[in-house]
Amino acid sequence: MSLNLKDEINKRRTFGIISHPDAGKTTLTEKLLLFGGAIQIAGAVKAKKKTKHATSDFMEIEKQRGISVASSIMGFCYKKVNINLVDTPGHQDFCEDTYRTLTAVDSVIMVIDSAKGVETQTYKLLDVCRMRNTPVITFVNKLDREGHDPVDLLDEIEEKLSINVCPMSWPIGRGQAFQGVYSIFDKQLYLFKPHEKQGASQTAKKIDNLNDPRLNEIIGDDAAEELRNDIDLVTGVYPEFNIDDYLSGKVTPIFFGSALNNFGVKELLDCFIQISPAPLARQTISREVTPFEDKFSGFIFKIHANIDPKHRDRIAFLRICSGEFQRNKKILHVRTGKLVRYGSPTAFMAREKSVIETAYAGDIIGLHDTGNLKIGDTLTEGEDLKFKGIPNFSPELFRIVVNLNPLKTKQLEKGLKQLCEEGVAQLFTRPYDTKKIVGTVGALQFEVIQYRLKHEYGAECRFDTLNFFKACWITSEDEKVLYDFVKTHPRQIADDRDEKTVFLAETQWSLDREISENSNILFKFTSED
C-alpha cells in the first residue's frame, strides 16, 4: 500500500448525527458546516428548503426526514481532515432508513435536549449503535434554556441508555444564568455571548487551575465556587477519558452547549477530529475487509430517485470500505456478476455536487444509476464479497395498493418499484390475487409514497388497510414442507421484490403458534442473508 493511500484514508472521518426529533440535530449539523466553511451563513440549509418546498404537512415531514442531497450527505474539510457528515432521519416512522444509514458511518454524535433529557427515539438509535459498538459522542444542547441539572442528565444517560459517560466540558449555570462552559478536555474557559450566532469564535481563557483567582473575576464568586464544586464532583465520580473505551462504544464523551447560538460546537468539532476513528474495518460474509487494502470495495446503503425531478436521476450512495475508487474504472457488481463503470461519480460538498476522479476508504459518493443497484449491493475490484449488516426489517403496517387511475398503471408500478428500492417501504406481491402490498414501519411513509407518486410519477393511488401484524421471511431445507405451508396459507403468503417468500402474520399469538407448529420452517424478521 502506498504512503499516499494510507495518508488519504487516515485523514477521513465519517459520522452520523442522531437525535430525537427537535433536539437540535439540524441546527448542530448546520453549525458544523459553518465551521467547515461549507456554508457561509447559519440558516442556509433551512432557508433553501423553505424556498424549494411547498408548505404542507407532508413537506414538513420531508424536511424532517432530510431526503434532499444537501441534507443527507455533506462533506467538508476542517483542519486538514476530510469529514463526511451523514444526516439521519429523526422521526421514528423513518427509523429503518436511519438504521441502514448508520451502517455507513464509523462513529456518531448524539444530540440530547437538556430540557427534555433522554427521549424515546434516542433509545432506539443508540441500540443500533450498540449492535455495532459504534463510538458515540454526546452533545447536550440548549443550555441557554432552562433545563435539567447537568449531574441528573448524566445519571439519566447512564441509566436509560446503559452507557458510561465521561464529561469533557461542564456548563457554568444554565438558562438565563448560563455563562459558558469549562473544557475539562483542554483546560479552557469558554464564555457565552448570546448574540454571536454566525461563526464568531467564543472568548476563551486558559485556566489550568480552577483555584486561580482570575476565575472569580471572570464569572463571579458564586458561579466560580459552584463550578469548582461541580468539577470536583464529576472528576471524582467519573473516570478520566480513555480513548479505547470510547472507540469500543463503552463510554460516551459528553459536551455541553447551545447549537442555536453556535456555542460549544467548535470545541466539540476540535475534539471530534482528535479522538474519532478513521475508517474502520467492515465484515463480509467471508472475511473482514480493512480500509488499507489496495483493492477497492464498498456497499450501497441508500438510494434516492428523482433527486432532480427535471432529470429523473437516481443516485445510489456508496460507502467505500477499502482502497481507492477511480472514475471510469471497471468494477464488479457482485450480485449480478457484471462489470460496470461510472463516468460521473459524485461527491457532496454541502449544497454542491461535483464529479470526482478518485475517492478513498471512508468516503461516501453518489453513483448515477438506471435501476441496476439495490440497497445492500457490494461493488469490488473483482473479489466475490458481500458486506453484512444491511438488512430489510420486518414491516409492521400493511396496505393494499388501489390504483385510482388505470391509465397510469405503468407509472404507478414504476413509481412503487423505485420508491421501495430506496428502502422507504417494502413492496410485496400476493400470488393468491396478484395484489400489490406495501409494508412500512411507520404510517407517515404512506403519505410520503402517495405524495411522491403523484408529483414525481403522475400516478395516484389509495392505500386500503390490511390486518397483518408482521412480515416474516420463511425458508426450509425441505422444499415440500415449505410448499405445503404456502399452499395452506394462500392469503398470508407474498413474494418480496427479490422473490423471497414472506409470511404475513395476523397477530402475535398466531405467529407464535405457526412457529411452534412448524419446526422445520425458519421464520426470520429481517431479509439479510
CATH architecture of 282-380: 3-Layer(aba) Sandwich (3.40)
Q: For the structural domain made of 397-524, what CATH number should be given?
A: 3.30.70.3280
Nearest-angstrom CA–CA distance, 339 and 382: 9
Contacts of 496 (CB under 8 A, 6+ apart): 392, 426, 427, 428, 473, 502, 527
Nearest-angstrom CA–CA distance, 62 and 55: 11
At position 397, the amino acid (one-letter code) is L
* CA atoms in the 13 A half-sphere facing the CB of 209: 3
- Helix H segments across 276-349? none
Nearest-angstrom CA–CA distance, 326 and 295: 11
- 3-state helix/strand/coil string of 190-243: EECCCCCCCCCCCEEEECCCCCCCHHHHHHCHHHHHHHHHHHHHHHHHCCCCCH
Q: Which of 186, 182, 171 is nearest to 215 (CA)?
A: 182
pLDDT tens by residue, the chain, 529 residues: 566 888 899 999 999 998 887 788 888 888 888 876 655 444 444 444 444 443 223 334 445 444 433 336 788 889 999 999 887 765 555 566 677 788 899 999 999 999 999 887 788 788 878 878 899 999 999 998 888 999 999 999 999 999 999 999 999 988 888 888 888 888 888 888 765 544 445 567 777 788 888 888 888 999 999 999 999 999 899 988 999 999 999 999 999 999 888 888 888 999 999 999 999 999 999 999 999 999 999 999 888 776 655 656 788 899 999 999 999 999 999 999 999 999 999 887 544 568 889 999 999 999 988 888 988 899 999 999 999 876 666 788 999 999 999 999 999 999 998 888 887 788 999 999 999 999 987 788 888 889 889 988 999 999 999 999 899 999 999 999 999 999 999 999 999 988 899 999 999 999 999 999 999 999 998 766 4
Phi first, then psi, for residue 460 (nearest 5°) are: -125, 140
Nearest-angstrom CA–CA distance, 122 and 119: 5
User: Beta 73-78 vs 426-430: how paired, if at all?
Assistant: unpaired
Number of Cβ atoms within 10 Å of the Cβ of 482: 18
Whether 11-66+104-275 and 282-380 share one fold: the answer is yes
Contacts of 468 (CB under 8 A, 6+ apart): 398, 492, 504, 505, 506
Contacts of 226 (CB under 8 A, 6+ apart): 172, 173
Q: Cell 453518489 sits at which residue?
A: 366
CB 392 within 8 A of CB 526: yes
The per-residue pLDDT for 35 is 76
Buried/exposed 93-118: b ≥16 CB within 10 Å, e otherwise: bbbbbbbbbbbbbbbbbbbbbbbebb
Nearest-angstrom CA–CA distance, 384 and 149: 53
The per-residue pLDDT for 158 is 93
The per-residue pLDDT for 513 is 95
Pick the CATH number of 11-66+104-275 from 3.30.870.10, 3.40.50.300, 3.50.50.60, 3.40.50.1360: 3.40.50.300
- Show me where the domains of the chain are located: 11-66+104-275, 282-380, 397-524
